[in-house]
Amino acid sequence: MEVYTVKKEKKTKVTYKKDRVNIEMSRTHYHDLLKGYNDLNSALGMLFECQDMYLSDMQNLETLKYRLIQGLGFVEGEHGHYSNAITTEELKTIKAA
């Protein structure tokens, strides 16, 4: 039996300034996003060449979805994981209304 220790990482910090957004994330999240991009690239390559997709590609795309939400500081919309993601700035506007 293997025991895994989960190291708590800092959350992504998003700062909004006029027409710019600054995102500060851990190196782990950054590399997870890079891996997600490469998984996406592989899945798209398979789709274009074979007009088919492996189940593992579907799982990689689902993982990328959560890496993007976590890594870029997005939040899920009002209907949970079935909703489009929104920014924390949009969430504040919704809650204020």
Residue pLDDT, tens place only, 72-91: 888 888 777 778 888 888 88
As to burial, measured by CB atoms within 10 angstroms (0-12 exposed, 13-18 middle, 19+ buried), residue 73 is buried
The packing angle between helices 55-72 and 27-50, to 10°, is 150
The amino acid sitting at 92 is K
Residue 81 in tokens:
């994981």
Q: What pLDDT is recorded for position 53?
A: 81
- Bridge partners (DSSP) of residue 23 are 14
Which residue did the predictor score with more confidence, 10 or 46?
A: 46
**28, 9 Cβ separation under 8 angstroms:** yes
With a cut of 60, say whether residue 5 has pLDDT above it: no
Average pLDDT, the chain: 84
**Whole-number Å distance between alpha carbons of 37 and 68:** 10
Q: What pLDDT is recorded for position 6?
A: 46
**Whole-number Å distance between alpha carbons of 93 and 97:** 6
Q: What pLDDT is recorded for position 22?
A: 92
Q: What are the sequence ranges of the domains in the chain?
A: 25-96
Q: How confident is the model at residue 1 (pLDDT cuts 50, 70, 90)?
A: very low
